[in-house]
Amino acid sequence: MTDIEGVLSGPVGRICPLVQLVYDVSDGDRNVTLGITFFFLFLGFFVGGPGCMAASSRVIWSFSREGGLPHYFARIHKRQEVPVNALVLAWFCISALSLIYIGNETAYYGISSGVTVVMIFSYALPIFLRLIYGYSQTNLPPGPFTLGSWGIPINILAACWRTYLIIFLCFPTIMPVTKENMNYSVVIFGACLSIPGLAWLAYGKNVYRGVLAEDDRPIRGLGLDTSTSNEQQKIVVDHSSGHEKQT
């Protein structure tokens, strides 16, 4: 695509550049445009959407279970056997972010681009922690796959690459920079660091327990494996309340 201005200045270019691109490629054929656009919507609603909802709700559920969020979001529905409260919170946040486009499309596109930087940082953070602390500060056992002696060099390369991406993706895309074409990734990135930091100082440091080393939650069903050994304590969760206890 070479004519970016032509795409953005089309009938629907400002609303959805992808639809305008399909419309231009099909030589203005509305049937083709509607057919391809519907296919994209189908993928979003029935393929990508459920996966994103499941992943985000499980993160909320896990974080709540560890004390990072109120225990209300760690509860498991007795009949559905899913974290319904976490799902509703994920749905509400996603819907609220989508509504931003109605009021300010520049803010919406800024958030859309900024979350890419945040996602890359989320991948880089455990790599940096691995390089700095190794396994000395965790009681989690290593997984079944290991890189062996190649682990440190590969982690260093990954850390350097992600540092470069974080800096590069915050650069402006057009000069001179105005409030309409500014790259707001750095603002979103700063907000995503400052808000959790303030939440940690105000709330998290007093209640957060960290990642649980032992966990007896079953994959299916509501039954709990309460077996214990003399050498090791297991953490068992009351699914109806979201609270944990040691046995």
- The Cα 24–Cα 60 span in angstroms is 41
pLDDT at 162: 93
- Could you tell me which residues come within 8 angstroms of residue 8 by beta carbon, excluding any fewer than 6 positions away? 14, 17, 20
- Could you tell me which residues come within 8 angstroms of residue 171 by beta carbon, excluding any fewer than 6 positions away? 183
In three-state secondary structure terms, 237 is strand
- Would you state the torsion angle of the CA atoms of residues 162, 163, 164, 167, taken in this order, to the nearest 10 degrees? 120
Q: Is 132 exposed, middle or buried (0-12, 13-18, 19+ CB in 10 A)?
A: exposed
Domain boundaries of the chain, sorted by first residue: 1-103, 106-206, 214-247
pLDDT at 65: 85
pLDDT at 236: 42
Are 121 and 100 within 8 A, CB to CB?
A: no
What pTM was estimated for this model as a whole?
Answer: 0.63
pLDDT at 184: 82
| Residue pLDDT tens, the chain, 247 long | 566 666 666 666 666 777 777 777 777 777 777 788 888 778 777 877 788 888 888 888 988 888 778 888 888 888 888 899 999 998 898 888 878 877 777 777 778 778 889 889 989 998 998 888 876 666 667 778 888 888 889 999 999 999 999 999 888 877 787 777 788 888 888 888 898 888 888 877 787 776 654 444 443 433 333 333 333 334 444 444 444 444 4
